[in-house]
Structure 1
Amino acid sequence: MGDIYIYMLIILAGLAITDLVVGVSNDAVNFLNSAIGSKAISFKTIMIIASLGIALGALSSSGMMEVARKGIFNPGEFYFDEIMIIFMAVMITDILLLDFFNSLGLPTSTTVSIVFELLGAAVCVSLLKIGENDNETFLDLGKYIATDTAIEIVVGILMSVAVAFTIGALVQFLSRLMLTFDYNKRPAFLAGIFGGLSLTSLYYFILVKGLKGADLGGLNFIFEYTTNVYETLGYGFIFWSIVSLVYVYVLKWDIYKLIIILGTFGLAMAFAGNDLVNFIGVPIGAYDAYKIWIENGAVANFPMDALAGKLPSQKWLLMLAGVVMILTLWFSSKAQAVVKTSVDLARQDSGTERFKSNFVSRFLVRYSVMAADGIEYIMPKKASIYISKRFEKVPSLGLVSKNEDKPAFDYVRASVNLMVASVLISVATSYKLPLSTTYVTFMVAMGTSLADRAWGRESAVYRIAGVLNVIGGWFFTAFSAFTAAALFAYIIYWGGFYAIIGLVVLAVVLITRSFIMHKRSQSEQRVTDELQKAESKTIQGIIEESSDTVATVFKRAKDMYSNTLEGLMNQDLGALKSGRKVSKKLGGEIDGLRNNIYFFIKNLDEKSIGASKFYIDVLGHLQDISQSLEYISRSSTDHINNNHKSLKFNQIKDLKEIINRIHSIFEESQHIFRSKEFSKLESIILKKRELLELVDQKIEKQVKRTKDSDESPKNTTLYFGLLLETRDLMNVTTQVAEQYFTEYDSSRFGKKQN
């Protein structure tokens, strides 16, 4: 019998490592967001600082492990085998749930997921025990579950979302009033005061949230001086203000960078010290339970009262977990995707938005604008002018390098993000209020971006929609964690070890599938990245820069056109639906390039206006190509999806001839644009004329067939639509070739003349 539990411990160990990987991928956003978004320090330096924080936090996390053992349920009410069922169900659920959110690139709370998983599994097993006991009813559930803790956590979640957003917005508003966007030109003493406040909050945060509860041996006396919150903060503010003033006035260093460095370190340490329990607390709890069970003779129906007591920490397990977390931080691409979501929603500049607007976001923006207009109407004019001046953006000096990403926000906002998140988490910890570091850090970042007017009329509906999606995902986490863990616990309760094996295999299959899909998505993203934004200032430069984009569009157009018509002729609905997604994706990418036109024109000098017209025309033609492909894909998919008659033999024969010609034209065009041998484009223009003549012949043949025989109306409509759209596709493709051929020739000629 004991062998089964050894196997279960081995499985739990494997699940713990996997959970660490997917958990760090999700929670890295908590401490990387501000540093990466502001670009205050290099990415490598950010990772080193965060790794040091994780290492120290992991070693100081032993005091939090008891949460998994006794924080949600009363272990004395369960037998050893029932405890193992709960822990196994929780770990399988946690891995699948976190990996799901990581694949979507959305941050969620590992704290909430583990709490509701423990709650769901424990409730399920409790109800099963109650059902087998004639002397107990549903009302006895409170004997098994720590209901007070569960209620506190739910209330803490709801409050933290609103409080973090509101305080983040308020502090950022006041900070910007004091420092403005041109903060480097403000009096140095203001930077010193701001530094004193920020460093005090981080100092208290690192002590109370990061290290308190850890077993530091002889250094534990430090915490005796932090029992009085106000006294600790008061003396800390005086000390750190002096340090900041010396830092600014004497050393002439940037205090904001120091705040960002220490804030990143502090949040990374707090994450490892407090959230490590979310990933390995359950397996360690299972290991402790197994040792207790073995030490007491491995008897059946052994109650686990000992789990509620103080147990020795497993330092070597904490060190191993710290190593896994650091490696994941460095190598997880999913972690970077989650961070990107948070940074994108908070960035100062507008651009291509990831999320689409919805009814709620439009409603909120509309009435927020009305409220803002009302406030401005009743506010004294002088006050309104003063505030507006404090929020004036600093004009950008020069052009941004083509291969350089602009910071999403400045050092002031990054510092406020870290400072406010630190204060809120520290205060909640000192009053023993449960909350999620993910919720706090994310909502503070959203509040500061709102106060900083990053959510302008151009982007507000999309940013709010993104925030609502993330918040909705949080509540979905709680519901799905509870439900899935309860279901898995039920399956394991009745299916035993065979059910565990089945669920583990299911988890492995789903995670492997997620990994493959993520890699495929990354590969597609690399293709997308080939559609580069042009940043040159001359027509010659634009021709050189945009030619790769045109070549990429031609390559993908060639594949889309051929695959779509092949799918139509073979009546392959799966291939047609896949092609439909690809065509929409191409259209979205070209729309992204068109959305950048404003910034492209702003970067041009007065002598290069012609370059902007050339580039706008090129993007217009590429959009026409994507629209033609989208029409061909949509009409073909609808035809097969509606179970209409297949194409006739003669129609298929004619289409194959056209496909081969178009494939040849796109193939040759792609190579010309990739090699930038634009003088060869004349041959493409001649081939296009031959193809158009061929299409016209096929149209005439179909007209004759329709007159002479009994043709299907749907077939005929589809076939004519495909031919006409093919003609439009070739016309636009040739217009691109003619435009490059003409402009390249004239620009070179003009250059020689000069």
Structure 2
Amino acid sequence: MDNYYLYIVIILLALALVDLVVGVSNNAVNFLNSAIGSHVAPRYVIMIVASLGIVIGSLMSSGMMEIARKGIFHPDQFYFSEIMIIFMAVMITDIILLDIFNTFGLPTSTTVSLVFELLGSAVAVASVKILSNDGTLAMLGQYINTEKALMIISGILISVVVAFVTGTVVMYFSRIVFSFNLRRSYHYFGALFGGFAITALTYFIIMKGIGGATMVPPSFIEALHQNTIKILLISFLGWAILLQLLSVFFRFNIFKAVVLLGTFALALSFAGNDLVNFIGVPMAGLKSFQIYMANPGIAPDQLNMSELAGPVNTNFYYLVIAGLVMVITLWFSKKARTVTETEVGLARQDSGIEQFGSTHLSRSIVRQTMHFASTLNRIIPTPIERFLDRRFDQNKAKKVKVGKDGAPSFDLIRASVNLTTASILISMATSLKLPLSTTYVTFMVAMGSSLADKAWGRESAVYRITGVLTVISGWFFTAFVAFTVALLVALAISFGGKFAVIAIIGITIFVIP
């Protein structure tokens, strides 16, 4: 029986590599869409910047690994044999689910999928255990960390609304300040905007990178928290002055710097936080197997896994390997491009070939919005309305050269707003210890900024809204399918043993091209 669990661990580690590939293919859109959509630099430069963020972020992700071990269920309520069933069910479900979304080019949340897969598989194993001991399902609360699970779910749902509204408001006022003609406003406000944005991004890098790393002394992190306001003010003034000097004397493009730094920051955040979604479960499985091997006199179905509730320290070399796999996937995955093209297409400033069709719901939303807008126009004084029309006049936008990749989907101001706003929201959630999905936040900020920037015109609005609704409905589909499939897989392994494992692995290999 020892070899059986050794094989299970080997399978889990192999599945971790596959999950890294499908996960990065889906989540790369979080940090690539703004840079690629605005054509801030050649694609290889964007990829190098993102790759650096991924490598550095992956080395700082150890502190996030606990969610896979004790975030959703109570490990002290399960035996070793039961824990391994949970982990196998989670990994198999995650790979199949994410690959489906990649195939259709739809972004989803690996955090949500992990949470509901852990929830579904833990409920299945706990139910089997309870019913076999003549208990009732009312006892599930002893096994599932319901408070933590509900906090994560509610936090993620709230972040969707907050991100959309914030993205809309920030982009609207940013466009009023800068308009589509940057020549005059850039000289007056460019350095101030850049100073604020780079300060926010720097703080974000510290909060999401260094703040989550186990290798950083707690005293240093505590000093950062105690002097946050002072650090932010000094940083803002310093960056604003430096950027103004660079802009005046060297014609330095402030917005390009903001977009590239934002791409690096979100890539670092992705690797630092979402790496747990791909290798957290296999690492927990490996730790469980090590506990099992350290207790040779105890049977697998008698070994309590309370040790999993202890501190989490992930091997440095595992993090390096994971980071390299993510970078390779980022460069060569065709499905990553497909998902990125979906989000960039929905945020595109001009009209063109639309990916999504028209639905009754989207048409109804457009009609109601147009009715509200016409009512609002009657209330707004004419001078203010004319002023706003001038600020949002796209005919004054600087003409850009169309390269081999086509024209930019939106300008550098929108790209800067997307990255800075998403970073600030994620930083605030981190400081307040609130859970959220980086995918949901970055997507909804991008959609909110598109709406505020009047990228959804009369002709394209119906199709864009259909696309947004499709993506959002896919998020609920993620939660439902992740829970259901993980539950069914866990039940199959619980009753079918190694034969069920072999059959399910075979199906997974067949399904994943």
- TM-score tier (shorter): over 0.9
Q: Check 1:330–1:36 CA distance in 2 against 1; reply closer, same or farther (3 A cut).
A: same
Counterpart Cα distance in 1 of 2:412 and 2:216: 37
Note the alpha carbon deviations across 1:28-68, whole angstroms, 9 max, x for none: 00000000000011100000000000000011111111110
- Name the counterpart of 1:356: 357
Give the secondary structure class of the aligned counterpart of 1:212.
helix
CA contact (8 A) 2:63 2:313 kept: no
Q: In structure 1, what residue type is equivalent to 2:144?
A: I
Counterpart Cα distance in 1 of 2:439 and 2:76: 32
- Name the counterpart of 2:16: 16
Structure 1 residue 292: Cα displacement? 1.0
Give the secondary structure class of the aligned counterpart of 2:394.
coil
Please list, as runs of the form range in 1=range in 2, the aligned pairs for 1:316-355 lying within 5 A after superposition. 316-355=317-356
Structure 1 residue 213: Cα displacement? 2.1
Structure 1 residue 211: Cα displacement? 2.4
Q: Which has the larger radius of gyration?
A: 1
CA contact (8 A) 2:30 2:442 kept: yes
- Name the counterpart of 1:299: 298
Note the alpha carbon deviations across 1:649-669, whole angstroms, 9 max, x for none: xxxxxxxxxxxxxxxxxxxxx
Q: In structure 2, what residue type is equivalent to 1:224?
A: A
Note the alpha carbon deviations across 1:369-415, whole angstroms, 9 max, x for none: 00000001011111110011001114577796584400000000000
User: With CA pairs under 8 Å and 6+ residues apart, which has the higher RCO, 1 or 2?
Assistant: 2
Which structure 1 segments of 5+ residues have no match? 513-754
CA contact (8 A) 1:2 1:298 kept: no
CA contact (8 A) 1:226 1:232 kept: no
Q: Check 1:340–1:461 CA distance in 2 against 1; reply closer, same or farther (3 A cut).
A: same
- Name the counterpart of 1:284: 283
Give the secondary structure class of the aligned counterpart of 1:186.
helix
CA contact (8 A) 2:180 2:398 kept: no
Q: In structure 2, what residue type is equivalent to 1:126?
A: A
- Name the counterpart of 1:144: 143
CA contact (8 A) 2:180 2:397 kept: no
Counterpart Cα distance in 1 of 2:494 and 2:365: 47
Range 419-428 or range 183-192, more displaced: 183-192
* 1:81 and 2:71 are equivalent in the alignment: no
Q: In structure 1, what residue type is equivalent to 2:447?
A: M
Please list, as runs of the form range in 1=range in 2, the aligned pairs for 1:616-695 lying within 5 A after superposition. none
* 1:130 and 2:125 are equivalent in the alignment: no
- Name the counterpart of 2:315: 314
Q: Check 1:115–1:320 CA distance in 2 against 1; reply closer, same or farther (3 A cut).
A: same
Counterpart Cα distance in 2 of 1:131 and 1:232: 56
- Name the counterpart of 2:486: 485
Counterpart Cα distance in 1 of 2:41 and 2:257: 10
- Name the counterpart of 1:216: 215
Which structure 2 segments of 5+ residues have no match? none
* 1:365 and 2:370 are equivalent in the alignment: no
Give the secondary structure class of the aligned counterpart of 2:285.
helix
Counterpart Cα distance in 1 of 2:274 and 2:400: 42
CA contact (8 A) 2:63 2:312 kept: no
Q: In structure 2, what residue type is equivalent to 1:238?
A: L
Q: In structure 2, what residue type is equivalent to 1:182?
A: N
Structure 1 residue 443: Cα displacement? 0.4
Q: Check 1:227–1:340 CA distance in 2 against 1; reply closer, same or farther (3 A cut).
A: farther
- Name the counterpart of 1:226: 225
- Name the counterpart of 1:385: 386
- Name the counterpart of 2:429: 428
Counterpart Cα distance in 2 of 1:82 and 1:41: 50
Structure 1 residue 196: Cα displacement? 1.2
Structure 1 residue 231: Cα displacement? 4.2
CA contact (8 A) 2:212 2:272 kept: no
Q: Check 1:506–1:310 CA distance in 2 against 1; reply closer, same or farther (3 A cut).
A: same
Structure 1 residue 298: Cα displacement? 5.3
Give the secondary structure class of the aligned counterpart of 1:433.
coil
- Name the counterpart of 2:4: 4
* 1:113 and 2:122 are equivalent in the alignment: no
Calculate percent identity across the aligned residue pairs: 52
Q: In structure 1, what residue type is equivalent to 2:309?
A: A
Give the secondary structure class of the aligned counterpart of 1:163.
helix
Counterpart Cα distance in 2 of 1:311 and 1:374: 57
CA contact (8 A) 2:13 2:282 kept: yes
- Name the counterpart of 2:406: 405
Counterpart Cα distance in 1 of 2:219 and 2:57: 15
- Name the counterpart of 2:37: 37
Counterpart Cα distance in 2 of 1:50 and 1:457: 35
Note the alpha carbon deviations across 1:466-496, whole angstroms, 9 max, x for none: 0000000000000000000000000000111
Give the secondary structure class of the aligned counterpart of 1:406.
coil
CA contact (8 A) 1:189 1:245 kept: no
Structure 1 residue 233: Cα displacement? 3.2
Give the secondary structure class of the aligned counterpart of 1:488.
helix
Q: Check 1:384–1:313 CA distance in 2 against 1; reply closer, same or farther (3 A cut).
A: same
Give the secondary structure class of the aligned counterpart of 1:40.
coil
- Name the counterpart of 1:52: 52
Counterpart Cα distance in 2 of 1:397 and 1:266: 28
- Name the counterpart of 1:678: none
Please list, as runs of the form range in 1=range in 2, the aligned pairs for 1:419-458 lying within 5 A after superposition. 419-458=420-459
- Name the counterpart of 2:272: 273
- Name the counterpart of 2:201: 202
Normalised by the length of structure 2, the TM-score is 0.97
Q: Check 1:119–1:219 CA distance in 2 against 1; reply closer, same or farther (3 A cut).
A: closer
Structure 1 residue 98: Cα displacement? 0.1
Note the alpha carbon deviations across 1:166-199, whole angstroms, 9 max, x for none: 0000000010000111113325230011111111
Counterpart Cα distance in 2 of 1:286 and 1:399: 52
CA contact (8 A) 1:347 1:449 kept: yes
- Name the counterpart of 1:509: 510
CA contact (8 A) 2:400 2:407 kept: no
Counterpart Cα distance in 1 of 2:342 and 2:205: 26
Please list, as runs of the form range in 1=range in 2, the aligned pairs for 1:514-593 lying within 5 A after superposition. none
Number of residue pairs aligned between Structure 1 and Structure 2:
511
Counterpart Cα distance in 2 of 1:497 and 1:255: 58
Counterpart Cα distance in 2 of 1:3 and 1:331: 36
Note the alpha carbon deviations across 1:67-123, whole angstroms, 9 max, x for none: 100001000000001000000000000000000000000000000001100000001
Give the secondary structure class of the aligned counterpart of 2:313.
coil
Q: Check 1:396–1:259 CA distance in 2 against 1; reply closer, same or farther (3 A cut).
A: closer
Q: In structure 1, what residue type is equivalent to 2:244?
A: L
Normalised by the length of structure 1, the TM-score is 0.66
Q: In structure 2, what residue type is equivalent to 1:497?
A: K
CA contact (8 A) 1:35 1:41 kept: yes
Q: Check 1:404–1:315 CA distance in 2 against 1; reply closer, same or farther (3 A cut).
A: closer
Counterpart Cα distance in 1 of 2:75 and 2:191: 51
- Name the counterpart of 1:469: 470
Q: In structure 2, what residue type is equivalent to 1:26?
A: N
Counterpart Cα distance in 2 of 1:125 and 1:298: 24
Q: Check 1:258–1:399 CA distance in 2 against 1; reply closer, same or farther (3 A cut).
A: closer
Q: Check 1:228–1:147 CA distance in 2 against 1; reply closer, same or farther (3 A cut).
A: farther
Counterpart Cα distance in 2 of 1:274 and 1:364: 35
CA contact (8 A) 1:211 1:273 kept: no
Counterpart Cα distance in 2 of 1:399 and 1:256: 15
Q: In structure 2, what residue type is equivalent to 1:343?
A: V
Q: Check 1:356–1:6 CA distance in 2 against 1; reply closer, same or farther (3 A cut).
A: same
